[in-house]
Copies of this chain bind each other. A is one copy, B any other.
Amino acid sequence: MRPVALLTDFGLSDHYVGVIHAVLEKYAPGIPRIDLDHLVPPGDIWEASFQLRCAWPHLPAGCVVMAVVDPGVGTDRRALGLALGRRFLVAPDNGLAACLGPASDVVEIDWRAMGLAEPSRTFHGRDVFAPAAGWLARGEDLTQLGKEVEPNLLVSCPLPDPEPLTSGYQATVISVDRFGNLATNLPAGSVNHRATAAWSSEGSARRVGTYSDAGDDEVVLLEGSAGFLELAVNGGSAAMATGLRREASLRITHIDDGDD
């Protein structure tokens, strides 16, 4: 059996997430279940895509991820099942399904073909995606969920890519975490260890190896735990210190002196 991991915007104040677990337990009794994140802001496909990208490399082989942030529930947006390497993803075709890059196989989940009861209009997480994840978890093949579709014709992920400049990149703040760290979309290996970030005429930060290399209240640029560069303040909040928010631009520049 394959473990199932869940990422939604259902919140924790209602029975919604609990019922998803109950449905998984019905379809795949005893399966290991993992909650990745249920506090994605309602309908925020951008944030869901970022969280999913960060978690993905650390999931067990064979893991089935159910990612449901689904403002289009009840419309004709497609529900998809994807094979990505040795893992699986079920997600709506609204950008979220595409956020991990190209899949080897994609099917459109078809509740009729699966023999499910007619889904409610408002809770496909419970009535479509969780049964599909449960089927995959107990070992069913992806093609049992519905017909194959063209992997290249999915709705694009909303996360922007960094843009190359002559001596670095124009990067974007992608997410702000609980500690006020500002994660960008630039992989840490893209620039060298003497890179700097600038976001205004006066706002700039040098790259350091770890929090403790920073001076008191200093905003620094360092590699975050998901492998992307981020702005941080040791023991403080970079979001507060800089005033930057999600979607803010910053210029991350190489300082190339020949021996790095």
Please encode chain A, from 53 to 92, with 1 for each CB lying within 8 Å of some chain B CB and 0 for all others. Answer: 0110011100100000001111100000000000000000
A18-B121 contact given A11-B178, A12-B12, A25-B60, CB 8 Å threshold: no
Whether the pair B13, A71 counts as a contact (CB closer than 8 A) is no
Please encode chain A, from 14 to 33, with 1 for each CB lying within 8 Å of some chain B CB and 0 for all others. Answer: 11011101110110011010
**Residues of A within 8 Å of B, CB-based: how many?**
58
Contacts of A36 in B (CB 8 A): 15, 18-19, 22
The chain A residues found within 8 Å of chain B, CB to CB, are 3, 5, 7, 10-15, 17-19, 21-23, 25-26, 29-30, 32, 34-39, 42-43, 51-52, 54-55, 58-60, 63, 71-75, 120-123, 126, 177-179, 209-212, 222-225, 235
Whether the pair B120, A212 counts as a contact (CB closer than 8 A) is no
Inter-chain pairs besides A18-B34, A25-B60, 19 sampled, C-beta below 8 Å: A5-B22, A7-B15, A13-B177, A14-B177, A14-B178, A15-B54, A22-B58, A25-B63, A26-B58, A26-B60, A30-B32, A43-B235, A74-B211, A120-B224, A120-B225, A121-B210, A122-B225, A123-B225, A126-B225
Whether the pair A19, B58 counts as a contact (CB closer than 8 A) is yes
Q: How far is the CA of A78 from the CA of B153 in the complex (A)?
A: 50
A178-B13 contact given A73-B211, A74-B211, A122-B222, CB 8 Å threshold: yes
